[in-house]
């Protein structure tokens, strides 16, 4: 297991090393050591959005946390839920929320 | 911190030079296709959403477009590209074989390339294009 996280709705989310290797790092190799950032994104996101195509998936977004040139961008972590627990499906860096996704929850942070 | 109304201007020099190497990887579990302008995945990239499930992947330092990421590849994208669907099925990539036929690589590239029109000063990513 790479990490276990608990989101703001007290759902337990697992991320396996195999999933991170085969479905994150194989396409985005710079994320190889970013499991901890993914855990933080799930536990303290800027926003959580419903996936546009899969009812059982939600996307967690967090910015201002990644190192170096990535600081300004979001880490997006996609989680598939069943009952009250979830599995990380994939993750990547993006510059914005995906247009077709619907907001479930958004943080109101003081700047 | 939502940037949904902001635009990024990405450089398209690699796209405009008609890349000689194309690396394609299809992740069946994610139903996502990755197309990189080179011989493998880009060492660093950020995904900028264009439309219809297609993201431009760009290098965050150079701002060059280095590839594409297409979500819902078989479920949605290929169904709108019947010519490519036939080529894709023939290639039998569903089990991720190591060899990627050149005609399939080029076919995929030709279908995705128009999502990132080159212009001056470059690809305006994040515009409400539909």
**Partner B contacted by A87 (CB < 8 A):** no
Position A110 in a domain = no
Range of the domain at B54: 10-117
Give the CA distances from residue A17 to residues B7, B10, B33, B58, in Å, rounded to whole numbers and listed in that order: 35, 33, 21, 26
Question: What pLDDT is stored for residue A111 in this prediction?
Answer: 58
Task: Work out the pLDDT band at B118, boundaries 50, 70, 90.
Answer: low
Residue B66 lies in a domain: yes
Structural domain contains residue A109: no
B10: pLDDT strictly greater than 50: yes
B15 domain-assigned: yes
Residue to test with chain B: of A20, A63, A76, A95, most B Cβ within 10 A: A95
Tell me which residue in B44, B46, B72 faces A94 most closely, judged by beta carbons.
B46
Is B1 among the domain residues? no
The answer to whether residue A74 scores a pLDDT higher than 70 is: yes
Is residue A57 in a domain?
yes
Query: In the structure, how many helices (H) and strands (E) does chain A have?
Result: 2, 7
Domain range enclosing A13: 3-102
pLDDT tens figures, A26-68: 999 999 999 999 999 999 999 999 999 999 999 999 999 999 9
Instruction: Give the count of domains, chain B.
Output: 1
Does residue B91 sit within a domain? Answer: yes
Residue B46 has pLDDT above 90, yes or no: yes
Q: Is residue B69 part of a domain?
A: yes
**Interface list for chain B against chain A, based on CB atoms closer than 8 Å:** 1-4, 6, 8, 25, 27, 29-30, 32, 34, 41, 43-49, 51, 55, 60-61, 69, 71-72, 75-76, 125-126
Q: Which of B26, B44, B66 to mutate to test the interface with A (most CBs of A within 10 A)?
A: B44
| A107 within domain boundaries | no
B125 in any annotated domain: no
> Which chain A residues are Cβ-neighbours of B55 within 8 angstroms?
94
* ipTM of this complex prediction, to 2 decimal places: 0.94
Residue B126 counted as domain residue = no
Of A88-92, B6-10, B43-47, the range with the lowest mean pLDDT is B6-10
If you search the block for the tokens 């470059």, which residue do you land on? B122
User: Taking the model in full, what pTM does it have?
Assistant: 0.90
- For B23, name the nearest residue in chain A, comparing CA atoms only: A27
Report the Cα B81 to chain-centroid distance in Å: 15
B47 contacts A97? CB cut-off 8 A: no
Full 3-state SS string of A36-56: HHHHHHHHCCCEEEECCCCCC
pLDDT more than 70, % of chain B = 78
Cβ-based neighbour number of residue B110 at 10 Å: 12
Position A111 in a domain: no
Q: Mean pLDDT score of chain B, rounded to an integer?
A: 81
Question: Which residue in the set B30, B45, B55 is minimally distant from A90, CB to CB?
Answer: B30
Tally of domains in chain A: 1
């Amino acid at each position: 297991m790479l990490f276990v996280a608990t989101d703001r709705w007290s759902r337990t989310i697992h991320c396996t090393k195999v999933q991170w290797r085969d479905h994150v790092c194989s396409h985005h190799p710079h994320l190889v050591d970013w499991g901890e950032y993914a855990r933080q994104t799930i536990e303290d996101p800027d926003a959580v959005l419903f996936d546009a195509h899969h009812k059982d998936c939600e996307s967690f977004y967090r910015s201002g946390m990644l190192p170096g040139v990535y600081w300004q961008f979001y880490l997006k972590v996609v989680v598939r839920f069943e009952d009250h627990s979830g599995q990380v499906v994939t993750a990547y860096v993006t510059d914005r929320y995906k247009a077709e996704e619907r907001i479930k929850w958004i943080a109101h942070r003081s700047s | 911190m939502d940037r949904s109304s902001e635009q990024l201007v990405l450089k398209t020099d690699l796209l405009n030079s008609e890349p000689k190497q194309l690396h394609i990887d299809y992740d069946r579990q994610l139903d996502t296709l990755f197309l990189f302008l080179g011989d493998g995945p880009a060492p660093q990239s950020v995904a900028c959403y264009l439309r219809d499930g297609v993201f431009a992947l760009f290098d965050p330092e150079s701002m060059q477009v280095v590839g594409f990421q297409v979500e819902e590849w078989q479920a949605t994208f290929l169904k709108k590209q019947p010519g490519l669907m036939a080529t894709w099925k023939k290639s039998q990539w569903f089990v991720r074989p190591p060899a990627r036929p050149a005609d399939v690589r080029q076919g995929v590239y030709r279908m995705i390339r128009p999502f990132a029109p080159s212009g001056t000063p470059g690809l305006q990513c994040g515009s409400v294009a539909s």
